Amino acid sequence: MGERITITTDDGSFDAYLAKPATTPAAAVVVIQEIFGVNQVMRDITDGLAGQGYLAICPDLFWRIEPGIDITDQSEAEWKRAFELFNAFDVDAGVQDIQATIDAVRQRPDCTGKVGAVGFCLGGLLAFLTATRTDADASVAYYGVGIENRTAEADKLTRPVLLHIAEEDQFVPKEAQAAIRQALGAHPLVTIHSYPGRDHAFARMGGAHYDEADARAAGERSLAFFKQNLG
């Protein structure tokens, strides 16, 4: 369903996976990867958003480390490599690459000019920073790792952001969740949904902690949020 396109920045060029809806022009959604690269899970999410009527694009944010990372969560060796990539990743440069992706898709003739973002895991943190640092029109963060350390950036929010929090997230402990709620819970541009009993990556189909019912609930909330804010 999708195709590869190239996005050029002052620092170099990187690929992105683009999936088009049946009807254009359409609002766009930037899909922000987990620590496994632009893999089949991310491409499926991108295709799914296109099926919902959005021009969906998933940029290769690991390109500065190694272009074309495409691994899974199914082996110990892949997990080891994923955490190596996570530890080597430059978050600030990643947000700049997301802005470059927003700029590139926004100027396409098949885009209405409205652009949202949705991210998972590492991408969840990046989605929150996309909301605070870029001109995205709306952002959704699934179980973002490290948001509790960035809540001061909420002062820069001018567009809405939706956070999905897994209450038993092994990478976002209870203390971190409490800090997020305390700092962001009353913010007029922040909506938080919590999922009791769910662990990290509960929406990753095929993952160890996947939960069909809550993945569907979070997906429906995300789509409603995009419909409200992207048209």
Catalytic residue numbers, as ranges: 169, 200
Distance CA(150)–CA(132), nearest Å, equals 10
Distance CA(222)–CA(109), nearest Å, equals 25
Residue with tokens 């992706």: 101
Distance CA(152)–CA(31), nearest Å, equals 24
Return the closest-CA partner of residue 230 out of 146, 143, 105, 122: 105
DSSP 3-34: EEEEEEETTEEEEEEEE--SSSSEEEEEEE--
Distance CA(131)–CA(140), nearest Å, equals 9
Neighbours of 224 (CB within 10 A): 11
Q: What does each C-alpha distance from 7 to 18, 65, 131, 189 come to in angstroms?
A: 11, 16, 21, 30
In sequence order, what are the residues at sequence separation of 6 or more whose Cβ sits closer than 8 angstroms to the Cβ of residue 43?
2, 17, 19, 58
CA dihedral 32, 33, 37, 43 (to 10 degrees): -80
